[in-house]
Chain A
Amino acid sequence: MSGERTPEDKYVSAQRRRYLYIILFLAIAIGIAVYSFGVGSAVIDFNIAIKVIIDRLNGIVPDRSVDYWAWLRDMLVIEDTVPRALGGLIIGAILGVCGAVMQTCVRNPLASPYTTGISAAALFGVTLSLVLGFRFIPIPGETGLIMNAFILSMFPCLLMIMVSVKRKTTPTMLVLIGIGVMYLFNAFTMIMKYRAEPDVLKQIQLWSIGSLTGIGWSAVYVLFATLIALLIFMLCFSRKMDVMASGENQSISLGVRPDRVRIICMVAISACTSVAVAFSGAIGFVGLIIPHLSRLFVGSKSKMLIPCSAVLGALLLIASDVVARLLGNGLPVGAVTAVIGSPVFIYFLIKMRSNGWGK
């Protein structure tokens, strides 16, 4: 019976395959990110971009007064394409993880990081600033706009905490509160839009689709710190989350208070999503579909699902950004994620004949 594999062997090989999937996706994501350095600008192709980066790593910084073109190329690569690619990777990862955690928390395949109304609130913040010129923190330019989006997007979070202090919350209730908040802020936004100038309208629309333009190094630092904190936090909580997902009664009898874990996780991911949304706008699809796709590859266990959602999210967003830039025309990345992601998702849904939810 030497050919028979024991269940233990099967588990180990399945686990190894899951790690391989994650590493493979990570490699592809990084490959596309490197490729993206040379995309989208007429004066820079891939070789020049790599040369500029190698020069920088060797400490060679071109002087503007000596060689203007070298300086310009350096500026474009170092200040625009590199932070944009890094930002895309990180935002995709954040949205993927937050989506996976949100779906586990509320036990609903329709949930996304925006289920609690974060994107609607952030959009209202942006609209306030663009239409009325109102800013919570009076800084001109992009920073004020980002702060507006961030501050308002914390509102759903606060509401959830307030409700959970007063009452015992259920997943459905949290989801319904999210729907209410979303509609409320969307209504405010619509009423402001209704009196807005056409070009402001276009700006708001672009923001609501989401794009990666204008992400600089300061944004990358903030986003990176957020991602690391999120990953560490969620991996520490992954065991408790799995217990919580097994059902209210089971998790109480196993010594985990489901409502408490749920609220802590949701507040944490809401804060991280707020950061991502504030910098990039409400990029949809990634947070909703990536966790499902990850479930098809690595199953529903949070310890594998969270890293896999992170790398797949990064992969989808950076690939979409490359496609958007290749197509040109200022196409926002949020419009492309679905074009690439939907067929892939439907293909795997059919091919695997399961939805990874075990029902």
Chain B
Amino acid sequence: MTPEGLNSEGDSIPDCEDILVEEYLSSARIKLLLIALLFIIAAIIAIYSFTIYGDMELSYVFELISNHISGNTYPEYSPEWFDDIIIWESALPRVIFCIIAAIGLAVAGASMQTAMNNPLADPYTVGISSGACLGLAVALSVGFSVNHGDLLGINIFAFIFSLFPLALILILAPKTHSSPSTLILAGVALSYLFNAANTIIMVTVDAETLETIYKWQVGTVSDIRWDNIPLTLGFVALGSALVTILSKKLNLLSLGDASATSLGVDPDNLRMICLVAIAFIVGAIVGSAGIIGFIGLVTPHIVRTFVGSNNKYVIPASAGLGIIMIITADILCKMFTVYDDMPVGAMLALIGAPIFLYLVIRRKSNVW
């Protein structure tokens, strides 16, 4: 994420050189095509995934869905009735959630890396995941929660906890020298603190609760229901829209704070707005599905090897690639396990890490 990286992508159009303008436009066109292609592949995989979740023909899945929408019901306990439940109550929310989560995490990751000017930053850098984890651990071990302690209540409880670390950072930031590295350090220190509290709780709970917390720490989408969708969708849509609107200004941040200031952007404010948007996006996702790693950290890096480091392209392309990766990983989880209990985070890392390593080592030029 150096100034050179931006220039070589032709982010600033030279005023009179027609050829350069032409070149820039054609490379921009190629990038837009690439992004469109990613989303088409994502759509195909998403549709195909229904046949895996329900273990049935694609045409039959469409028939079930269209029947459900048009209000046709099946006789209770008939095979179609069961299939309808599988598709409508389990597979559909799961796929929709995967799409929302992938978009949210990829957008959050790409913007966090730019805002912090750090390739090691990920959506969880300011401690969102550790806060959420502590929320879950408290809810499960103490039994204290909102909404009568049902599953949705626990999810909301974790979401509320996930915002604590950022709130603390917002309180602390004016008291410190508020540069990206200080924010990162404060975030890391806070997330270690929350994690430590979580570990202390985990040492005391029984094996069954431990397994639930553990599974949640890796990230799993197998328990997603319709209940989870509205909250997540709302926050992810709002936050992602905000970050996408700010993407041009975010580009300026990667030039360094001094240059950004001279170009009319207040870096500290912009960074804080981004952090809040990211916290709400990620908190809503983490509250429902646990800490799905890899996507937020690695997808933007993979995308940068293809489209350069302009956030105008990195953010949507990350979202597209994120959807492809998470649904593919979830399908593989479902295919390789009998009880559908493998966390999607593990599979994501297993297929994604070798690709990522290959790209980093093979890549000739350095976009960062």
Contact = CB atoms under 8 A, between A and B. Distances in A.
Given A202-B210, A205-B210, 19 more contacts: A108-B118, A109-B181, A173-B368, A175-B120, A183-B352, A183-B356, A184-B353, A186-B346, A187-B353, A190-B218, A190-B345, A194-B342, A201-B207, A288-B188, A289-B189, A289-B192, A338-B195, A349-B185, A349-B186
A342 B192 contact: yes
Given A349-B182, A350-B175, A353-B176, A170 B366 contact: yes
Interface stretch (B54-62, B84-92, B292-300): B292-300
Nearest to B175: A350
B196 A335 contact: yes
Interface of B: 118-121, 125, 172, 175-177, 179, 181-182, 184-186, 188-190, 192-193, 195-197, 199-200, 202-204, 207, 210-211, 214, 218, 293-294, 297-298, 301, 341-343, 345-350, 352-354, 356-357, 360-361, 366, 368
Give the 5 A-B residue pairs with the shortest CB-CB distance, closest first. Answer: A190-B346, A187-B349, A338-B192, A184-B353, A180-B357
B350 A111 contact: no
Given A342-B193, A355-B179, A190 B360 contact: no
Nearest to B360: A176
Contact of A355 (B177, B190, B196, B200): B177
A172 B368 contact: yes
A292 interface: yes
A209 B199 contact: yes
Given A167-B361, A346-B172, A179 B192 contact: no
Interface string A333-359: 011111101110110011001110101
B120 A183 contact: no
Contacts of A173: 360, 366, 368
A316 interface: no
Contact of B121 (A110, A172, A285, A331): A110
Nearest to B190: A342
B185 A355 contact: yes
A163 interface: yes
Given A108-B118, A109-B185, A184 B350 contact: yes
Interface string A154-176: 00000000010001001011011
Contacts of A201: 207, 210-211, 214
A208 to B, nearest CB: 10
A329 interface: yes
A108 B120 contact: yes
A50 interface: no
Interface secondary structure of B, over-half rule = helix
A71 interface: no
Determine the interface band of chain A, counting residues with CB < 8 A from chain B: 35 or more
Nearest to A350: B175
Contacts, number: 160
A19 interface: no
A176 B119 contact: yes
Given A176-B360, A338-B195, A188 B181 contact: no
23 contacts: A167-B361, A172-B368, A173-B368, A176-B356, A177-B361, A179-B297, A180-B298, A184-B357, A186-B346, A187-B347, A198-B211, A285-B192, A289-B189, A289-B192, A335-B199, A335-B200, A341-B192, A349-B182, A349-B186, A355-B179, A355-B182, A359-B179, A359-B181
A191 B337 CA distance: 11
A330 interface: yes
Contacts of B348: 187
A284 B352 CA distance: 25
A181 interface: yes
B133 to A, nearest CB: 13
B346 A187 contact: yes
B353 A329 contact: no
A180 B366 contact: no
Nearest to B192: A338
A346 B190 contact: yes
A111 B188 CA distance: 11
A198 B207 contact: yes
